């Protein structure tokens, strides 16, 4: 998973020439939860592109020593995580390629599913790629494309690309936001009102109208909030939005929309203060907890969340069930998510580093413990064990998502099916494995009821196996087909 941000700031926003880079870096801070392995920033001054990227958290990569040298009124930023041994500097983003016709930098969120086929389209083959990501391949294809400009190159190349791709693309003069036809990963457009703008000025979406406003693209609306930008609208599936200094954003459609936003973004991944599909995600998750209480009621003394991501659903569960809500686990905020640490050993170690039970709260009590997902089961097992050691009398686990049966090929790391506990164990077997007194998952219908949105808007493939875009995987025989021999690692 990755976070992307883009910014175009006219001269009225400052005179140092570093404002766009600073705004993009700040926006990216709000997206740190989407990737903690590397971060980077690319800027253009209208003439030349410059990229700085490195492994590490955003605060250590894009600090006050680096930002002053990244000058330009156009900027894109990216944070990334992967888990398959490709955490190397070369694979950090934005990518940069100086092609015969254009210079390009790209930040990508999502995974492509036809990487091998695309590699066949690249002149010179894999030896031309300095990194082993699908993003590097896409950047090379776009830089090579014999089209008049970047927008034309995108219009020609993007229809050949399959899978999940939310992009921020930077050339010398523009920042371009792109969402694949399914819109698997989110992207929103925001406006930074010009310092000199009259408050009465109409705020219409008018192609090519002159503007002194600044414009931003962000994976999540929380990124707009942190830089003080107002939300304008989502970039639509199959659309690119072109940001250019002095102009209102321009929309170009490169494919008909076939929406399938990743429902996991709403259940777990995105920040609770972000909005998607018109829903605030804290509220959506609270309602999922309420549905969960209806589907799988408990008789316990307390409802408690697995912090922090289980908190909204636990609040909803408590509200709907009338059982008091308490916090029974304290999270160390300065460790990463266990879900995205690189190895199973690290994950197992991570949960004890991360969580500590409040003995006074849990001792002698029957607990309903609410979390938003069980991926491998090891984290939940350790949480149940921690609570029992702290004196809990009963531990009833409730999950505000359906069981994850299938791997994701669109950019969330539930990739290895053999690691998904629900793929090989029944709910009762999972309950026994984690050591809980009972276990209940929210149904797909329950998720949809909480969202009050139709199934057709979302991808639910990891829950029901209905992949909106064909993947390099034989769902019938449950065998990987291309993964082992895939020549280019696929991580966005
Ligand atoms: Fe999201 Fe699951 Fe679909 Fe992947 S398979 S995009 S995690 S809903």
Q: 315-348 pLDDT, tens per residue?
A: 999 999 999 999 999 988 766 554 555 456 665 5
Q: Residue 302 has what pLDDT?
A: 98
- Give distance in angstroms: CA of 422 to centre of ligand 1: 15
Flag whether pLDDT at 474 surpasses 70.
Answer: no
Q: Residue 198 has what pLDDT?
A: 56
Match 């990518």 to its residue by tokens: 95
Two tokens, residue 230: 């107002």
- Give distance in angstroms: CA of 460 to centre of ligand 1: 6
DSSP of 450-491: HHT--GGGEE-HHHH---SS--SEETTTTEESSTTT-SS---
In the beta sheet, which residues pair with residue 215? 8, 191
Ligand 1 site-directed mutation target among 109, 259, 408, most atoms within 8 Å of CB = 408
- Give distance in angstroms: CA of 34 to centre of ligand 1: 15
Residue nearest to atom 4 of ligand 1 (CA): 408
Contacts of 484 (CB under 8 A, 6+ apart): none
Q: Residue 484 has what pLDDT?
A: 42
> Burial level of 72, CB count in 10 A (0-12/13-18/19+)?
buried
68-77, 154-163, 407-416: the lowest-pLDDT one: 407-416
Active-site residue list:
2
pLDDT more than 90, % of the chain: 69
Flag whether pLDDT at 485 surpasses 50.
Answer: no
Rounded to an integer, the average pLDDT of 119-125 is 84
Please state, in angstroms and rounded to a whole number, the distance separating the CA atoms of residues 40 and 4. Answer: 10
Please state, in angstroms and rounded to a whole number, the distance separating the CA atoms of residues 284 and 289. Answer: 9
**For the chain, first and last CA: distance in Å?**
6
Task: Output the pTM of the full model.
Answer: 0.90
Match 């371009």 to its residue by tokens: 176
| CB-facing half-sphere around the CA of 418: CA atoms within 13 A | 3
Measure CA 398 to chain center. Answer: 24
- Give distance in angstroms: CA of 451 to centre of ligand 1: 16
Flag whether pLDDT at 472 surpasses 90.
Answer: no
Flag whether pLDDT at 128 surpasses 50.
Answer: yes
Beta strands 438-441 and 458-459, pairing class = unpaired
From the alpha carbon of 461, which atom of ligand 1 is closest? 5
Two tokens, residue 133: 């990501």
Q: Residue 346 has what pLDDT?
A: 60
Q: Residue 248 has what pLDDT?
A: 92
Could you tell me if 492 and 411 are in contact, meaning their C-beta atoms sit under 8 angstroms apart? yes
Flag whether pLDDT at 231 surpasses 60.
Answer: yes
Helix, strand, coil percentages in the chain from 3-state DSSP, rounded to 5: 30, 25, 45
Residue nearest to atom 1 of ligand 1 (CA): 262
Rounded to an integer, the average pLDDT of 422-431 is 96
Could you tell me if 128 and 120 are in contact, meaning their C-beta atoms sit under 8 angstroms apart? no
Q: Residue 347 has what pLDDT?
A: 56
193-224 pLDDT, tens digit each: 887 665 555 444 444 456 788 999 999 999 99
Beta strands 366-371 and 394-399, pairing class = parallel
Rounded to an integer, the average pLDDT of 57-67 is 90
Flag whether pLDDT at 488 surpasses 50.
Answer: no
Q: Residue 374 has what pLDDT?
A: 94
Q: What's the chain's average pLDDT?
A: 88
From the alpha carbon of 458, which atom of ligand 1 is closest? 8
Ligand 1 site-directed mutation target among 110, 261, 262, most atoms within 8 Å of CB = 262
Q: Residue 88 has what pLDDT?
A: 81
- Name all residues whose Cβ lies below 6 A of ligand 1: 184, 262-264, 408, 410, 412, 459-462
Two tokens, residue 387: 């609570």
Q: Residue 473 has what pLDDT?
A: 62
Could you tell me if 110 and 184 are in contact, meaning their C-beta atoms sit under 8 angstroms apart? yes
Could you tell me if 303 and 318 are in contact, meaning their C-beta atoms sit under 8 angstroms apart? yes
Q: Which of 116, 105, 173 is nearest to 142 (CA)?
A: 105
Flag whether pLDDT at 17 surpasses 70.
Answer: yes
């Amino acid at each position: 998973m990755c976070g992307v941000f883009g910014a175009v700031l006219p001269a009225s926003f400052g005179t140092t020439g570093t404002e766009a880079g600073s705004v993009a870096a700040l926006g990216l801070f709000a997206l740190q939860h989407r990737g903690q392995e590397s971060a980077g920033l690319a800027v253009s001054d209208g003439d030349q592109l410059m990229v700085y990227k490195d492994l590490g958290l955003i605060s250590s990569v894009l600090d006050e020593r680096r930002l002053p040298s990244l000058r330009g009124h156009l900027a894109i930023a990216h944070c990334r995580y992967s888990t398959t041994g490709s955490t190397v500097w070369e694979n950090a983003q934005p990518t940069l390629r100086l092609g015969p016709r254009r210079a390009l930098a790209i930040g990508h969120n999502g995974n492509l599913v036809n990487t091998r086929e695309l590699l066949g389209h690249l002149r010179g083959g894999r030896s031309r790629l300095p990194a082993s990501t699908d993003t590097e391949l896409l950047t090379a294809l776009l830089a090579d494309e014999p089209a008049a400009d970047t927008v034309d190159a995108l219009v020609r190349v993007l229809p050949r690309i399959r899978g999940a791709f939310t992009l921020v693309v930077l050339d010398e003069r523009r920042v371009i936001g792109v969402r694949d036809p399914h819109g698997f990963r989110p992207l929103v457009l925001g406006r930074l009102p010009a310092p000199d703008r009259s408050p009465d000025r109409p705020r219409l979406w008018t192609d090519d109208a002159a503007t002194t406003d600044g414009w931003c693209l962000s994976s999540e609306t929380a990124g707009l909030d942190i830089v003080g930008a107002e939300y304008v609208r989502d970039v639509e599936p199959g659309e690119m939005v072109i940001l250019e200094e002095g102009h209102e954003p321009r929309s170009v459609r490169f494919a008909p929309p076939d929406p399938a936003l990743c429902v996991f973004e709403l259940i777990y991944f995105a920040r609770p203060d972000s909005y998607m599909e018109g829903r605030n995600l804290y509220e959506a998750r609270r309602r999922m907890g309420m549905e969960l209480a209806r589907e799988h009621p408990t008789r316990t003394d307390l409802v408690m969340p697995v912090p922090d991501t289980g908190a909204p659903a636990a609040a909803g569960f408590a509200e709907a069930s009338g059982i008091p809500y308490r916090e029974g686990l304290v999270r160390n905020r300065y460790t990463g998510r266990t879900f995205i640490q690189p190895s199973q050993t690290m994950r197992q170690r991570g949960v004890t580093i991360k969580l500590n039970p409040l003995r006074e709260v849990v001792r002698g009590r029957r607990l309903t413990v609410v979390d938003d997902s069980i991926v491998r089961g090891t984290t939940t097992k350790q949480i149940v064990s921690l609570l029992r050691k702290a004196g809990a009398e009963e531990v009833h686990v409730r999950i505000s998502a359906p069981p994850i049966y299938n791997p994701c090929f669109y950019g969330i790391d539930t990739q290895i099916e053999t690691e998904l506990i629900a793929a090989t164990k029944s709910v009762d077997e999972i309950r026994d494995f984690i050591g809980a007194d009972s276990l209940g998952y929210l149904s797909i219908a329950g998720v949809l009821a909480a969202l009050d949105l139709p199934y057709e808007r979302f991808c639910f493939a990891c829950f029901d196996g209905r992949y909106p875009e064909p993947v390099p995987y034989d769902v019938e025989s449950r065998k990987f087909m291309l993964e082992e021999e895939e020549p280019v690692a696929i991580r966005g």
